[in-house]
Amino acid sequence: MKVTIFGAGYVGLSFAACLAEAGHEVLCADADPARIEGLQGGRMPLHEPGLEALVASGVAAGALRFTADERAACEHGELLFIVVNTPADAQGRVDLRHVIAVAAAIGRHRDRDALVVCKSTAPVGTAAQVEAVLGGELAQRGARHRIAVAVNPEFLREGSAVRDCRRPDRVVIGSEDPWAIGLLTRLYAPFIQDPQRQLLVMDRRSAELAKYAANAMLATRISFMNEMARVAEQAGADIEAVRRGIGADRRIGPDFLQAGVGYGGSCLAKDVRALTHAAERAGHALRILSAVAATNHEQKGRLFELMSRHFGGTLAGRTIAVWGLAFKADTDDMRDAPSLVLLERLWAAGARVRAYDPAAMPNARGIVGERDDIRWCTTAQEALQGADALAVVTEWEEFRRPDFAQLAGELNAPPTIFDGRNLYDAAQAESAGIAYYGIGRGRSSMLR
Ligand code: UDX
Protein backbone atom coordinates (compact mmCIF):
# COMPACT_ATOMS: atom_id res chain seq x y z
CA MET A 1 0.00 0.00 0.00
CA LYS A 2 1.11 3.59 -0.53
CA VAL A 3 1.66 5.34 2.76
CA THR A 4 2.78 8.84 3.71
CA ILE A 5 4.13 9.54 7.17
CA PHE A 6 4.19 13.17 8.25
CA GLY A 7 6.83 13.51 10.96
CA ALA A 8 10.29 11.93 11.06
CA GLY A 9 10.69 11.74 14.86
CA TYR A 10 11.12 8.53 16.89
CA VAL A 11 7.63 7.33 16.17
CA GLY A 12 7.30 8.46 12.55
CA LEU A 13 10.68 7.15 11.51
CA SER A 14 10.37 3.79 13.26
CA PHE A 15 6.87 3.30 11.89
CA ALA A 16 7.91 4.32 8.36
CA ALA A 17 10.87 1.94 8.36
CA CYS A 18 8.80 -0.98 9.68
CA LEU A 19 6.05 -0.40 7.12
CA ALA A 20 8.66 -0.32 4.35
CA GLU A 21 10.14 -3.58 5.66
CA ALA A 22 6.66 -5.11 5.58
CA GLY A 23 6.35 -4.34 1.86
CA HIS A 24 4.52 -1.00 1.80
CA GLU A 25 5.64 1.97 -0.32
CA VAL A 26 6.45 4.64 2.22
CA LEU A 27 7.19 8.32 1.84
CA CYS A 28 8.23 10.08 5.03
CA ALA A 29 7.94 13.86 5.21
CA ASP A 30 9.10 16.38 7.78
CA ALA A 31 8.76 20.15 8.05
CA ASP A 32 12.47 20.37 8.93
CA PRO A 33 14.37 20.31 5.62
CA ALA A 34 17.71 19.71 7.38
CA ARG A 35 16.35 16.53 8.96
CA ILE A 36 15.11 15.29 5.59
CA GLU A 37 18.37 16.18 3.87
CA GLY A 38 20.22 14.24 6.56
CA LEU A 39 18.00 11.21 6.13
CA GLN A 40 18.35 11.36 2.37
CA GLY A 41 22.11 11.34 2.90
CA GLY A 42 21.89 8.35 5.28
CA ARG A 43 22.31 10.34 8.53
CA MET A 44 20.04 9.46 11.45
CA PRO A 45 18.64 12.33 13.51
CA LEU A 46 18.34 10.17 16.65
CA HIS A 47 19.70 7.08 18.39
CA GLU A 48 17.36 4.11 18.28
CA PRO A 49 18.63 0.50 18.28
CA GLY A 50 18.19 -1.24 14.93
CA LEU A 51 16.60 1.74 13.23
CA GLU A 52 19.56 2.93 11.19
CA ALA A 53 19.97 -0.46 9.51
CA LEU A 54 16.24 -0.76 8.91
CA VAL A 55 16.05 2.69 7.33
CA ALA A 56 19.06 1.90 5.16
CA SER A 57 17.56 -1.35 3.88
CA GLY A 58 14.20 0.31 3.26
CA VAL A 59 15.90 3.02 1.23
CA ALA A 60 18.07 0.51 -0.66
CA ALA A 61 14.98 -1.52 -1.58
CA GLY A 62 13.26 1.63 -2.85
CA ALA A 63 10.43 1.08 -0.33
CA LEU A 64 11.28 4.08 1.86
CA ARG A 65 11.84 7.62 0.66
CA PHE A 66 12.07 11.02 2.33
CA THR A 67 10.77 14.35 1.22
CA ALA A 68 10.46 17.93 2.37
CA ASP A 69 7.95 18.60 -0.41
CA GLU A 70 4.54 18.91 1.20
CA ARG A 71 2.61 18.53 -2.00
CA ALA A 72 4.47 15.39 -3.07
CA ALA A 73 3.85 13.95 0.41
CA CYS A 74 0.12 14.64 0.18
CA GLU A 75 -0.13 13.12 -3.28
CA HIS A 76 1.70 9.89 -2.45
CA GLY A 77 -0.24 7.97 0.18
CA GLU A 78 -3.72 6.51 0.14
CA LEU A 79 -3.04 6.41 3.87
CA LEU A 80 -1.63 9.64 5.29
CA PHE A 81 -0.38 9.41 8.87
CA ILE A 82 0.01 12.48 11.04
CA VAL A 83 2.88 11.70 13.41
CA VAL A 84 4.09 15.18 14.35
CA ASN A 85 4.85 16.33 17.88
CA THR A 86 2.17 17.74 20.14
CA PRO A 87 3.97 19.62 22.93
CA ALA A 88 2.11 20.48 26.13
CA ASP A 89 2.92 23.56 28.22
CA ALA A 90 3.40 23.50 32.00
CA GLN A 91 -0.36 23.67 32.54
CA GLY A 92 -0.99 20.75 30.20
CA ARG A 93 -2.43 22.74 27.29
CA VAL A 94 -1.55 20.80 24.15
CA ASP A 95 -0.26 22.68 21.13
CA LEU A 96 -1.92 21.20 18.05
CA ARG A 97 -0.36 23.63 15.60
CA HIS A 98 1.69 21.01 13.76
CA VAL A 99 -1.21 18.55 13.50
CA ILE A 100 -3.51 21.21 12.12
CA ALA A 101 -0.87 22.43 9.66
CA VAL A 102 -0.55 18.92 8.20
CA ALA A 103 -4.34 18.53 8.02
CA ALA A 104 -4.62 21.85 6.16
CA ALA A 105 -1.85 20.86 3.74
CA ILE A 106 -3.60 17.57 2.96
CA GLY A 107 -6.84 19.47 2.42
CA ARG A 108 -5.08 21.82 0.00
CA HIS A 109 -3.05 19.30 -1.99
CA ARG A 110 -4.67 15.88 -1.94
CA ASP A 111 -6.65 15.29 -5.13
CA ARG A 112 -7.91 11.74 -4.61
CA ASP A 113 -9.68 9.76 -1.92
CA ALA A 114 -7.52 9.10 1.12
CA LEU A 115 -7.55 8.10 4.73
CA VAL A 116 -5.91 10.51 7.14
CA VAL A 117 -4.78 8.78 10.33
CA CYS A 118 -4.05 10.71 13.51
CA LYS A 119 -1.19 8.97 15.28
CA SER A 120 0.16 11.93 17.25
CA THR A 121 -0.91 11.85 20.88
CA ALA A 122 -3.57 14.53 21.01
CA PRO A 123 -6.58 15.33 23.19
CA VAL A 124 -9.97 13.76 22.68
CA GLY A 125 -11.69 15.60 19.86
CA THR A 126 -8.54 16.23 17.80
CA ALA A 127 -9.60 13.86 15.00
CA ALA A 128 -12.87 15.79 14.73
CA GLN A 129 -10.86 19.02 14.53
CA VAL A 130 -8.64 17.55 11.81
CA GLU A 131 -11.75 16.50 9.93
CA ALA A 132 -13.17 20.03 10.18
CA VAL A 133 -9.95 21.62 8.91
CA LEU A 134 -9.74 19.15 6.02
CA GLY A 135 -13.41 19.64 5.20
CA GLY A 136 -12.93 23.41 5.18
CA GLU A 137 -10.02 23.22 2.74
CA LEU A 138 -11.80 20.77 0.46
CA ALA A 139 -14.98 22.87 0.42
CA GLN A 140 -12.99 25.97 -0.41
CA ARG A 141 -11.68 24.44 -3.59
CA GLY A 142 -14.95 22.69 -4.39
CA ALA A 143 -13.34 19.25 -4.18
CA ARG A 144 -15.66 16.24 -4.33
CA HIS A 145 -13.41 13.37 -3.32
CA ARG A 146 -13.52 11.76 0.08
CA ILE A 147 -10.93 12.12 2.82
CA ALA A 148 -11.80 10.16 5.95
CA VAL A 149 -10.12 10.57 9.32
CA ALA A 150 -9.25 7.75 11.73
CA VAL A 151 -7.30 7.54 14.96
CA ASN A 152 -4.49 5.05 15.50
CA PRO A 153 -2.45 5.80 18.62
CA GLU A 154 1.14 4.64 18.93
CA PHE A 155 2.40 2.74 21.94
CA LEU A 156 6.05 2.21 21.04
CA ARG A 157 8.79 2.95 23.54
CA GLU A 158 12.02 4.73 22.81
CA GLY A 159 14.88 2.28 22.91
CA SER A 160 12.71 -0.57 21.63
CA ALA A 161 10.73 1.29 18.99
CA VAL A 162 11.53 -1.11 16.16
CA ARG A 163 10.68 -4.20 18.19
CA ASP A 164 7.46 -2.60 19.47
CA CYS A 165 6.46 -1.66 15.91
CA ARG A 166 7.10 -5.11 14.50
CA ARG A 167 5.41 -6.95 17.35
CA PRO A 168 2.74 -4.73 18.86
CA ASP A 169 0.83 -5.95 21.92
CA ARG A 170 -2.18 -4.40 20.26
CA VAL A 171 -3.19 -2.02 17.49
CA VAL A 172 -5.96 0.40 18.37
CA ILE A 173 -8.08 1.56 15.43
CA GLY A 174 -10.34 4.48 16.18
CA SER A 175 -12.91 4.54 13.41
CA GLU A 176 -16.49 3.53 12.73
CA ASP A 177 -16.02 3.66 8.97
CA PRO A 178 -15.75 0.15 7.45
CA TRP A 179 -13.58 1.43 4.57
CA ALA A 180 -11.08 3.01 6.99
CA ILE A 181 -11.07 -0.02 9.27
CA GLY A 182 -10.45 -2.26 6.25
CA LEU A 183 -7.50 -0.16 5.05
CA LEU A 184 -5.85 -0.09 8.47
CA THR A 185 -6.43 -3.81 8.98
CA ARG A 186 -4.69 -4.54 5.68
CA LEU A 187 -1.85 -2.18 6.48
CA TYR A 188 -1.14 -3.81 9.82
CA ALA A 189 -1.68 -7.41 8.68
CA PRO A 190 2.08 -8.19 8.51
CA PHE A 191 2.47 -7.25 12.20
CA ILE A 192 -0.57 -9.08 13.53
CA GLN A 193 -0.57 -12.77 14.43
CA ASP A 194 -3.89 -12.94 16.25
CA PRO A 195 -6.34 -10.29 14.95
CA GLN A 196 -9.03 -11.21 17.48
CA ARG A 197 -6.71 -10.35 20.35
CA GLN A 198 -4.45 -7.68 18.85
CA LEU A 199 -6.76 -5.56 16.69
CA LEU A 200 -8.95 -3.34 18.81
CA VAL A 201 -11.51 -1.34 16.87
CA MET A 202 -13.39 1.43 18.64
CA ASP A 203 -14.76 4.93 18.12
CA ARG A 204 -12.29 7.75 17.57
CA ARG A 205 -12.75 9.47 20.89
CA SER A 206 -12.17 6.27 22.84
CA ALA A 207 -9.01 5.59 20.82
CA GLU A 208 -7.75 9.09 21.61
CA LEU A 209 -8.45 8.62 25.29
CA ALA A 210 -6.98 5.08 25.35
CA LYS A 211 -3.57 6.51 24.53
CA TYR A 212 -3.67 8.99 27.41
CA ALA A 213 -5.09 6.41 29.78
CA ALA A 214 -2.30 3.96 28.90
CA ASN A 215 0.47 6.43 29.63
CA ALA A 216 -1.31 7.66 32.76
CA MET A 217 -1.58 4.08 34.02
CA LEU A 218 2.11 3.43 33.35
CA ALA A 219 3.06 6.64 35.17
CA THR A 220 0.79 5.65 38.04
CA ARG A 221 2.48 2.27 38.44
CA ILE A 222 5.90 3.92 38.56
CA SER A 223 4.90 6.57 41.10
CA PHE A 224 3.14 3.93 43.16
CA MET A 225 6.33 1.88 43.29
CA ASN A 226 8.41 4.94 44.10
CA GLU A 227 6.12 5.59 47.06
CA MET A 228 6.33 1.95 48.11
CA ALA A 229 10.11 2.36 47.91
CA ARG A 230 9.87 5.04 50.60
CA VAL A 231 7.82 2.69 52.74
CA ALA A 232 10.36 -0.09 52.15
CA GLU A 233 13.20 2.19 53.26
CA GLN A 234 11.41 3.07 56.46
CA ALA A 235 10.32 -0.51 57.09
CA GLY A 236 13.68 -2.14 56.45
CA ALA A 237 12.29 -3.99 53.43
CA ASP A 238 13.68 -4.30 49.90
CA ILE A 239 11.49 -2.90 47.11
CA GLU A 240 13.07 -5.32 44.63
CA ALA A 241 11.75 -8.26 46.62
CA VAL A 242 8.40 -6.52 46.99
CA ARG A 243 8.30 -6.00 43.22
CA ARG A 244 8.79 -9.71 42.61
CA GLY A 245 6.23 -10.45 45.26
CA ILE A 246 3.50 -8.45 43.57
CA GLY A 247 4.54 -8.75 39.90
CA ALA A 248 3.94 -12.50 39.94
CA ASP A 249 0.24 -11.83 40.48
CA ARG A 250 -1.30 -12.08 37.01
CA ARG A 251 -3.74 -9.32 37.85
CA ILE A 252 -0.79 -6.98 38.41
CA GLY A 253 1.91 -8.29 36.03
CA PRO A 254 5.67 -7.78 36.32
CA ASP A 255 6.26 -4.75 34.05
CA PHE A 256 6.56 -1.09 34.93
CA LEU A 257 7.08 -1.74 38.61
CA GLN A 258 10.68 -0.57 38.76
CA ALA A 259 11.33 2.04 41.44
CA GLY A 260 14.01 4.51 40.47
CA VAL A 261 14.86 8.12 39.78
CA GLY A 262 11.37 8.96 38.52
CA TYR A 263 9.96 8.76 35.03
CA GLY A 264 11.20 11.09 32.31
CA GLY A 265 10.99 11.22 28.53
CA SER A 266 8.75 12.96 26.10
CA CYS A 267 5.48 11.22 26.89
CA LEU A 268 4.61 10.17 30.40
CA ALA A 269 4.85 13.51 32.20
CA LYS A 270 3.40 15.42 29.25
CA ASP A 271 0.44 13.10 28.84
CA VAL A 272 -0.34 13.04 32.56
CA ARG A 273 -0.37 16.85 32.51
CA ALA A 274 -2.50 17.04 29.39
CA LEU A 275 -5.05 14.54 30.68
CA THR A 276 -5.26 16.30 34.04
CA HIS A 277 -5.73 19.63 32.30
CA ALA A 278 -8.42 18.33 29.95
CA ALA A 279 -10.33 16.72 32.82
CA GLU A 280 -10.08 19.87 34.92
CA ARG A 281 -11.49 21.92 32.09
CA ALA A 282 -14.40 19.54 31.98
CA GLY A 283 -14.89 20.11 35.72
CA HIS A 284 -13.31 16.95 37.07
CA ALA A 285 -10.15 17.00 39.21
CA LEU A 286 -8.00 13.92 38.54
CA ARG A 287 -6.77 13.43 42.09
CA ILE A 288 -4.82 10.26 41.40
CA LEU A 289 -2.91 11.76 38.50
CA SER A 290 -2.11 14.95 40.41
CA ALA A 291 -0.53 12.76 43.08
CA VAL A 292 1.31 10.70 40.45
CA ALA A 293 2.90 13.87 39.04
CA ALA A 294 3.76 15.26 42.48
CA THR A 295 5.38 11.99 43.56
CA ASN A 296 7.42 11.90 40.37
CA HIS A 297 8.57 15.47 40.88
CA GLU A 298 9.81 14.56 44.36
CA GLN A 299 11.35 11.33 43.17
CA LYS A 300 13.61 13.13 40.75
CA GLY A 301 15.25 14.75 43.78
CA ARG A 302 15.58 11.48 45.72
CA LEU A 303 19.12 10.54 44.70
CA PHE A 304 20.34 13.99 45.67
CA GLU A 305 18.59 13.72 49.05
CA LEU A 306 20.35 10.42 49.75
CA MET A 307 23.69 11.98 48.83
CA SER A 308 23.11 15.06 50.84
CA ARG A 309 22.25 12.98 53.89
CA HIS A 310 25.29 10.75 53.39
CA PHE A 311 27.65 13.71 53.14
CA GLY A 312 26.19 15.36 56.23
CA GLY A 313 24.30 18.02 54.31
CA THR A 314 27.35 19.51 52.62
CA LEU A 315 28.29 18.56 49.11
CA ALA A 316 30.41 21.65 48.49
CA GLY A 317 33.78 20.63 47.11
CA ARG A 318 32.69 17.03 46.47
CA THR A 319 33.01 15.37 43.08
CA ILE A 320 30.27 13.00 41.94
CA ALA A 321 30.60 10.56 39.05
CA VAL A 322 27.33 10.30 37.14
CA TRP A 323 26.71 7.20 35.02
CA GLY A 324 23.89 7.79 32.57
CA LEU A 325 22.23 11.01 31.47
CA ALA A 326 19.52 9.82 29.04
CA PHE A 327 16.03 9.46 30.55
CA LYS A 328 16.27 5.69 29.98
CA ALA A 329 18.68 3.21 28.43
CA ASP A 330 19.15 2.74 24.68
CA THR A 331 18.28 6.29 23.74
CA ASP A 332 20.07 9.61 23.43
CA ASP A 333 16.91 11.45 24.47
CA MET A 334 17.35 13.98 27.30
CA ARG A 335 13.78 15.26 27.38
CA ASP A 336 12.59 15.52 30.97
CA ALA A 337 15.58 13.40 32.04
CA PRO A 338 15.91 12.93 35.83
CA SER A 339 19.69 13.38 35.42
CA LEU A 340 19.13 17.08 34.71
CA VAL A 341 17.48 17.55 38.11
CA LEU A 342 20.37 15.77 39.83
CA LEU A 343 22.99 17.87 38.02
CA GLU A 344 21.23 21.12 38.91
CA ARG A 345 20.98 20.14 42.59
CA LEU A 346 24.61 19.03 42.74
CA TRP A 347 25.81 22.26 41.21
CA ALA A 348 23.59 24.35 43.47
CA ALA A 349 25.18 22.52 46.42
CA GLY A 350 28.68 23.33 45.16
CA ALA A 351 29.58 19.84 43.93
CA ARG A 352 31.40 19.00 40.71
CA VAL A 353 30.29 16.32 38.27
CA ARG A 354 32.15 13.80 36.10
CA ALA A 355 29.54 12.55 33.64
CA TYR A 356 29.41 9.66 31.21
CA ASP A 357 26.63 8.37 28.96
CA PRO A 358 27.11 6.00 26.00
CA ALA A 359 24.78 7.98 23.69
CA ALA A 360 23.26 11.09 25.24
CA MET A 361 26.31 13.25 25.91
CA PRO A 362 26.02 15.43 22.79
CA ASN A 363 22.38 16.18 23.60
CA ALA A 364 23.17 16.70 27.29
CA ARG A 365 25.98 19.12 26.43
CA GLY A 366 23.59 20.99 24.19
CA ILE A 367 21.20 21.48 27.11
CA VAL A 368 23.68 22.10 29.91
CA GLY A 369 26.23 24.09 27.93
CA GLU A 370 29.92 24.34 28.78
CA ARG A 371 30.70 24.98 32.42
CA ASP A 372 33.61 24.35 34.80
CA ASP A 373 31.75 22.13 37.23
CA ILE A 374 31.14 19.28 34.77
CA ARG A 375 33.67 17.06 33.11
CA TRP A 376 32.40 15.07 30.11
CA CYS A 377 34.15 11.71 30.24
CA THR A 378 34.68 9.30 27.37
CA THR A 379 34.33 6.12 29.41
CA ALA A 380 32.45 5.00 32.51
CA GLN A 381 35.76 4.27 34.21
CA GLU A 382 37.15 7.73 33.48
CA ALA A 383 34.12 9.26 35.19
CA LEU A 384 35.02 7.47 38.43
CA GLN A 385 38.55 8.80 38.70
CA GLY A 386 38.94 10.98 41.75
CA ALA A 387 35.20 11.12 42.44
CA ASP A 388 33.84 10.84 45.99
CA ALA A 389 30.83 8.80 44.95
CA LEU A 390 29.12 7.24 41.95
CA ALA A 391 25.50 8.02 41.04
CA VAL A 392 23.87 5.62 38.58
CA VAL A 393 21.04 7.43 36.81
CA THR A 394 20.36 5.41 33.62
CA GLU A 395 20.16 1.63 33.38
CA TRP A 396 22.51 1.16 30.40
CA GLU A 397 23.59 -2.45 29.91
CA GLU A 398 27.26 -1.51 30.26
CA PHE A 399 26.69 -0.30 33.84
CA ARG A 400 25.05 -3.49 35.02
CA ARG A 401 28.00 -5.64 36.03
CA PRO A 402 30.87 -3.49 37.23
CA ASP A 403 33.98 -4.91 38.87
CA PHE A 404 33.26 -3.61 42.36
CA ALA A 405 36.85 -4.01 43.59
CA GLN A 406 38.13 -1.93 40.68
CA LEU A 407 35.33 0.58 41.13
CA ALA A 408 36.21 0.94 44.82
CA GLY A 409 39.83 1.56 43.82
CA GLU A 410 38.93 4.38 41.40
CA LEU A 411 36.68 6.30 43.81
CA ASN A 412 38.04 8.33 46.71
CA ALA A 413 37.79 6.54 50.04
CA PRO A 414 35.38 5.67 51.47
CA PRO A 415 33.78 4.62 48.13
CA THR A 416 30.04 5.11 47.85
CA ILE A 417 27.42 4.20 45.24
CA PHE A 418 24.01 5.83 44.87
CA ASP A 419 22.19 3.40 42.62
CA GLY A 420 19.18 5.23 41.17
CA ARG A 421 18.09 2.16 39.15
CA ASN A 422 18.65 -0.62 41.67
CA LEU A 423 21.05 -2.34 39.29
CA TYR A 424 23.28 -3.80 41.97
CA ASP A 425 23.17 -6.26 44.75
CA ALA A 426 23.82 -4.33 47.96
CA ALA A 427 25.70 -7.21 49.61
CA GLN A 428 28.05 -7.56 46.65
CA ALA A 429 28.93 -3.87 46.65
CA GLU A 430 29.33 -3.84 50.41
CA SER A 431 31.63 -6.85 50.35
CA ALA A 432 33.97 -4.76 48.18
CA GLY A 433 33.93 -2.11 50.92
CA ILE A 434 31.51 0.16 49.10
CA ALA A 435 28.77 2.02 50.94
CA TYR A 436 25.64 1.28 48.90
CA TYR A 437 22.39 3.21 48.60
CA GLY A 438 19.60 2.09 46.31
CA ILE A 439 16.02 3.26 45.94
CA GLY A 440 13.75 1.56 48.46
CA ARG A 441 16.39 -0.83 49.67
CA GLY A 442 15.86 -0.64 53.39
CA ARG A 443 17.73 -3.89 53.92
CA SER A 444 21.05 -2.47 52.76
CA SER A 445 23.02 -1.39 55.80
CA MET A 446 23.24 2.27 54.84
CA LEU A 447 19.52 2.87 55.16
CA ARG A 448 18.88 0.99 58.37
C1 UDX B 1 6.23 5.68 26.87
C2 UDX B 1 5.21 4.52 26.73
O3 UDX B 1 5.75 3.35 27.36
C4 UDX B 1 4.89 4.25 25.29
O5 UDX B 1 3.91 3.26 25.18
C6 UDX B 1 4.40 5.54 24.64
O7 UDX B 1 4.15 5.34 23.28
C8 UDX B 1 5.43 6.64 24.82
O9 UDX B 1 5.73 6.82 26.21
P10 UDX B 1 8.88 5.96 26.58
O11 UDX B 1 8.70 7.31 27.15
O12 UDX B 1 9.68 5.78 25.35
O13 UDX B 1 7.45 5.27 26.26
O14 UDX B 1 9.60 5.04 27.68
P15 UDX B 1 9.13 4.05 28.82
O16 UDX B 1 9.85 2.77 28.64
O17 UDX B 1 7.67 4.00 28.94
O18 UDX B 1 9.73 4.75 30.12
C19 UDX B 1 9.25 6.00 30.58
C20 UDX B 1 9.98 6.41 31.83
O21 UDX B 1 9.59 5.59 32.94
C22 UDX B 1 11.49 6.31 31.78
O23 UDX B 1 12.05 7.42 32.42
C24 UDX B 1 11.79 5.04 32.53
O25 UDX B 1 13.08 5.02 33.10
C26 UDX B 1 10.72 5.08 33.60
N27 UDX B 1 10.36 3.77 34.14
C28 UDX B 1 9.84 2.82 33.34
C29 UDX B 1 10.51 3.53 35.51
O30 UDX B 1 10.98 4.40 36.26
N31 UDX B 1 10.12 2.32 36.00
C32 UDX B 1 9.60 1.34 35.23
O33 UDX B 1 9.27 0.27 35.76
C34 UDX B 1 9.45 1.58 33.84
What CA dihedral angle connects 58, 62, 63 and 64, to 10 degrees?
Answer: 60
Q: Any idea how long the chain is? A: 448
The reported pLDDT for the residue numbered 445 is 52
Nearest CA to ligand 1 atom 20: 263
The domain limits of the chain are 2-202
Query: Is the per-residue pLDDT at 448 higher than 80?
Result: no
**Quick check: 310 and 346 in contact, CB under 8 A?**
no
Nearest atom in ligand 1 to 268's CA: 9
- Of all residues in the chain, the percent with pLDDT exceeding 90 is 98
Q: What pLDDT is stored for residue 443 in this prediction?
A: 75
pTM, to two decimals = 0.95
Rg (CA), the chain: 24
Who lines ligand 1 at CB under 6 A?
154-158, 215, 218, 222, 256-258, 260, 263-265, 267-268, 327-328
What average pLDDT does the segment 42-64 reach? 96
Distance from Cα 409 to the centre of ligand 1, integer Å:
34
The pLDDT score that the predictor gives to residue 447 is 56
CA nearest neighbour of 330 among 6, 48, 136: 48
Mutate to test the pocket of ligand 1, among 83, 154, 157 (most ligand atoms within 8 A of CB): 157
**Residues near 353 by beta carbon (within 8 Å), at least 6 away in sequence:** 319, 320, 321, 322, 343, 346, 347, 373, 374, 375
Model confidence over 125-145: pLDDT tens digits? Answer: 999 999 999 999 999 999 999
Task: Tell me whether residue 2 is annotated as binding.
Answer: no
- Whether residue 240 is annotated as binding a ligand: the answer is no
| pLDDT for position 442 | 87
Task: Ligand 1 pocket test: pick from 297, 328, 331, 339 the residue with the most ligand atoms within 8 Å of its Cβ.
Answer: 328
Mean of the pLDDT values across residues 148-167?
Answer: 96
Q: Looking at this predicted complex, what is its ipTM?
A: 0.96
* Mean of the per-residue pLDDT values of the chain: 96
**Residue 271 pLDDT more than 90?**
yes
pLDDT single digits (tens) 376-425:
999 999 999 999 999 999 999 999 999 999 999 999 999 999 999 999 99
Band (pLDDT 50/70/90 cuts) for residue 292 is very high
Among 18, 74, 267, 377, the active-site one is: 267
Consult the annotation and say whether 15 binds a ligand.
Answer: no
Nearest CA owner, ligand 1 atom 9: 267
Which one of 267, 393, 395 would you pick to mutate in the ligand 1 pocket, going by the greatest count of ligand atoms within 8 A of its CB?
Answer: 267
**Closest by Cα among 33, 34, 45 to 16:** 45
* DSSP state string for 306-337: HHHHHTTT--TT-EEEEE--SSSTT----TT-
- Say if residue 249's pLDDT is above 80: yes
Which residue, by CA, sits nearest to atom 22 of ligand 1? 263
Q: Answer yes or no: 267 catalytic.
A: yes
Closest C-alpha to ligand 1, atom 28: 256
Can you give the pLDDT at residue 446? Answer: 59
108 CA distance to ligand 1 middle (Å): 37
Spatial distance between the Cα atoms of 176 and 203, rounded to a whole number of angstroms? 6
286 is in an annotated binding site: no
Q: Does the domain made of 2-202 have the CATH classification 3.40.50.920?
A: no
